[in-house]
Amino acid sequence: MEAKETLKAHIGKFVSLTGEQFDYFFSHFKPLSFKKGQVIIAEGDTVDCEYFVISGCLKSFFINDDLKMFILQFAMPTWWASDYNALYSQTKATINVDCITDAEVLALTNNDREKLCNELHIVEHFFRWRTNRGYVAAQKRLLSFMNNNVKYRYEELLKLYPELYNMVPKNLIAAYLGVSRETLSRL
């Protein structure tokens, strides 16, 4: 029931579903448990789900030709993660998603999301709102990238998500900030 309550609280922050509507909505999610290090989406995979994090921490990341890793997102509880480009346009994954810690998630298929959006206007409203927030956050991060040096971005990140400092190894934080682990280590 933990997972169901977490999702309900999350949705409830923006829209009001009746109990019946929420039960129906929830019935499309599939609970999954993963171990630390387990891969959820690998480059080249067909992507048909997005994942709502109940506990633990995921990362979505890109590996370039030099095998350098860039982290797009740390997904903490009540965050969503997937390769959205692949999911929305039904192409192969170019982004990977795996588990930084043991994690419990709720999986929702692209088809089910679209079905739910069609059947329940308010669910579509919720998902529009969610992506709006994601879009604004992505723009802010882009601006911060262009405007601020590494030190400032590191401090801002820790201010916003202090739990990352202990939860996530420094080399991953460096990969999120787009900087080498050596430079990060020198503050």
Partner DNA sequence: CTTCAAATGTGATGTAGATCACGCAGCCAT
Partner DNA sequence: ATGGCTGCGTGATCTACATCACATTTGAAG
Query: Is residue 117 a contact residue for DNA (CB under 7 A)?
Result: no
Residue whose entry in the numeric block shows the structure tokens 């992505």? 138
Q: Which of 23, 30, 145, 156 binds a copy of itself (CB under 8 A)?
A: 145
DSSP state of 17: -
Q: Which is nearer to DNA, 44 or 169 (CB)?
A: 169
Assess 67 for contact with a copy of itself (CB under 8 A). no
If phi > 0 it is left, if psi is from -120 to 50 it is alpha, else beta; for residue 30 that is beta
Residue 16 token pair: 């009001």
Q: Vertex 51, ends 60 and 72: CA angle to 5°? A: 20
Site pattern 64..83 for DNA (x: CB under 7 A):
--x-x---------------
User: How many residues form the binding site for DNA (CB under 7 A)?
Assistant: 16
Q: Residue 159 CB, nearest distance to DNA (Å)?
A: 17
Supply the minimum distance, in Å, between the C-beta of residue 123 and a copy of itself: 10
Q: Site for a copy of itself (CB under 8 A): which residue of 136, 155, 169, 170?
A: 136
Residue 89 tokens read as: 């346009």
Q: At what angle do helices 2-12 and 19-26 cross, to 10 degrees?
A: 120
Q: What is the Cα–Cα distance from 176 to 157, expressed in whole angstroms?
A: 10
> Does 162 engage in binding with DNA (CB under 7 A)?
no
Task: Please say which residue, 79 or 88, places its beta carbon nearer to a copy of itself.
Answer: 88
Site mask, a copy of itself, residues 21-50, x = CB under 8 A? ------------------------------
How far is C-alpha 182 from the geometric centre of its chain's CA atoms? 26
Write the single-letter amino acid at 180: S
List residues binding DNA (CB under 7 A): 66, 68, 149-151, 169-171, 178-183, 185-186
